[in-house]
Amino acid sequence: MKTRYSYGGDEHIFVECDEEMSLEAFFKSLSMATAIKKAKIKGVTEICPANASMQVKFDPDIIKPSDMLKELKAIEKAAAKAKPIIKSRIIEIPVLYNDPWTHETLMRFRERHQDPKSIDIEYTARINNLDGVDGFIKAHSGAPWFVSMVGFVAGLPFLYQMVDRKRQIQSPKYLRPRTDTPKLTVGHGGCFGCIYSVRGAGGYQMFGITPVPIYDPNQKIKHLKDFMCLFRPGDIVKWKPIDREEYDATVAAVEKGKFKLKMKDVTFDLSEFKKDMDGYNAKLMGALNGR
């Protein structure tokens, strides 16, 4: 891992912790972001951790860009000593795979896809040597995913599957981005999964849809009353495959204010996780299910 700094115009400094994605790079980015927040440097207006990089926005009338750079480099040294442990939450998100709404959309943009004769979920299953749609759902929902970035649009989580690199699902982005994606689509691009928080443009493959809102600017939905976005970096997501009946029932429950999000506080320790990923995930699942 080699850290690379670059100015983003006169108001940003961009810090690439690593060119490639790994949880180590994520933790470096997050610990730097945390340390910068703590340092309370005058003039800093935004601190944005990302998957394997981070960015600071500042007011150059208050702190010179070159001084800001010096501050960040000093913080990097201190942050490198931080232990990769994070207070986290494991959250269960139900998914209706192969749903009619993303299906309608992916058919509408078929000519922008690598394989117009197939559909996104079948295509991704094939290029990852998974046994069709069922094999894909098993792999996709079998192990939890780590929220390694929040952004693109309001509250959208980027998700990194907590398995060996060779077991990680990879799929290209559309050849040309779509101009439409249904709200709450479960998507995938590169090694990252995501949930589209709002309807709009998108380039990720579309596998399904969740009935659980993750962004509510009016803060009326029960689990979004405290803050309008559900996810924060370091959260852990476990997909739960559901059928159409359960999907409809969940949508109705959300509307009536009766849906209760299944969520538990946990601590994530990267070193422990790496010793035995499947065992560690099993323990996380135990915590989620109250065992």
Partner 1 sequence: MAVNVIKPGLSTTVQDLGRPGYYNIGIPLSGGMDRLALKAANLLVGNKEGTAVLEAVFMGPELKFAEDATVAVTGAELPPRVDGEPRETWTSFKVKKGQTLSFDFLKKGARAYIAISGGIDVPVVLGSRSTYTLGALGGFKGRKLEAGDKLPVGKGRGAKEGRTIPEKLRRAPGAPAELRMLPGLYWHRITASAGKHFFEDTWKVAPEADRIGYRFRGGRPLEFVPREQPFGAGSDPSNIVDACYPYGSIQVPGGTEPIVLHRDAVSGGGYFMVGTVVSADMDLIGQLQPHTTARFVEVTMAQALKARKDQAKLYEKLKASL
Q: Does residue number 161 form part of the binding site for partner 1 (CB under 8 A)?
A: no
Handedness of CA 243, 244, 249, 252 (dihedral sign): positive
Q: Which of 84, 155, 208, 234 binds partner 1 (CB under 8 A)?
A: 155
Phi, psi of 58 (to 5 degrees): -145, 165
Stretch that binds partner 1, among 76-84, 101-109, 224-232, 251-259 (CB under 8 A): 224-232
Angle at 238 between CA 146 and CA 212, to 5 degrees: 105
What does the block give as tokens for 99?
A: 């749903």
| 3-class secondary structure, 140 | helix
Tell me the closest approach of the beta carbon of residue 286 to partner 1, in angstroms. 29
Identify the residue whose tokens are 């670059």. 6
Tell me the closest approach of the beta carbon of residue 170 to partner 1, in angstroms. 8
Stretch that binds partner 1, among 15-23, 103-111, 238-246, 260-268 (CB under 8 A): 15-23
Amino acid type, 263: M
Non-local (6+) Cβ contacts of 229 within 8 A are 150, 154, 155, 197, 214, 215
Q: Which of 103, 112, 122, 151 binds partner 1 (CB under 8 A)?
A: 151
Q: Does residue number 43 form part of the binding site for partner 1 (CB under 8 A)?
A: no
Q: Does residue number 172 form part of the binding site for partner 1 (CB under 8 A)?
A: yes
Write the interaction track for partner 1 spanning residues 63-102; mark x where CB under 8 A is met and - where it is not.
--xx------------------------------------
Tell me the closest approach of the beta carbon of residue 254 to partner 1, in angstroms. 17
- Burial bucket for residue 39 (CB in 10 Å: 0-12, 13-18, 19+): middle
Beta bridge partners of 170: none
Q: Does residue number 52 form part of the binding site for partner 1 (CB under 8 A)?
A: yes
What does the block give as tokens for 44?
A: 């800093």
Stretch that binds partner 1, among 39-47, 79-87, 118-126, 272-280 (CB under 8 A): 39-47
Q: Which of 35, 36, 41, 54 binds partner 1 (CB under 8 A)?
A: 54
- Burial bucket for residue 236 (CB in 10 Å: 0-12, 13-18, 19+): buried
Instruction: Kindly state the number of chain residues that form the binding site for partner 1, as judged by CB under 8 A.
Output: 59
C-alpha 106/C-alpha 86 separation (Å) is 37
Q: Does residue number 158 form part of the binding site for partner 1 (CB under 8 A)?
A: yes
CB 51 within 8 A of CB 25: yes
What residues make contact with partner 1 under the rule CB under 8 A? Answer: 6-12, 14, 16, 18-22, 33, 45-55, 57, 60-61, 65-66, 149-156, 158, 160, 165, 172-173, 177, 189-192, 197-198, 200, 203, 215, 217, 228-229, 231-232
